[in-house]
């Protein structure tokens, strides 16, 4: 499951745990890398298409790309359920406070 911080123990002369030291999960270098990654995403990545702003912000790009569509069957199924609920005029309290998701059905 990936890296987990380790804990090392120090023992006294009777063999009892006298101290423990846990590795830091995010050291300074890792934090700097994550901050740099976020800055890169915030400044260089287009929030609309996920591409590089340098590429998708150039009008010449329009001639170079061919849009593709991939259906997400999870999103489609959720939308169908929302439509069904709406068509059935189901009343729900604070509907904007709900989030929709999906899970696998239990095997029969
Ligand atoms: Zn874009």
CB half-sphere exposure, 79, CA atoms < 13 A: 6
3-state secondary structure of 85: helix
Give mean pLDDT in consecutive 10-residue pieces for the chain, a chain of 108 residues: 88 96 90 96 94 93 92 95 92 89 88
- Select from 9, 34, 7, 3 the least CA-distant residue to 23: 7
Give the pTM. Answer: 0.49
Q: How far is the CA of 75 from the centre of ligand 1 (A)?
A: 22
Q: Which residues surround ligand 1, an ion (CB under 5 A)?
A: 46, 48-49, 51, 56
Q: How far is the CA of 52 from the centre of ligand 1 (A)?
A: 7
Q: How far is the CA of 58 from the centre of ligand 1 (A)?
A: 10
- Select from 8, 38, 33, 37 the least CA-distant residue to 23: 8
Phi/psi at 65 (5° precision): -110, 155
Q: Output the pLDDT for position 20.
A: 96
3-state secondary structure of 11: strand
């Amino acid at each position: 499951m990936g890296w987990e911080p380790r804990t090392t123990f120090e023992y006294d002369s009777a063999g009892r745990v006298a101290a423990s030291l846990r590795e830091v999960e995010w050291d300074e270098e890792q934090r700097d890398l994550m901050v740099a990654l976020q800055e890169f995403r915030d400044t260089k990545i287009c929030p609309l298409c996920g591409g590089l702003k340098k590429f998708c912000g150039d009008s010449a790009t329009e001639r170079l790309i061919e849009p593709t569509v991939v259906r997400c069957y999870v999103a489609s199924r959720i939308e169908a359920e929302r439509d069904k609920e709406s068509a059935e005029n189901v009343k729900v309290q604070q509907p904007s406070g709900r989030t929709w998701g999906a899970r696998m059905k239990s095997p029969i």
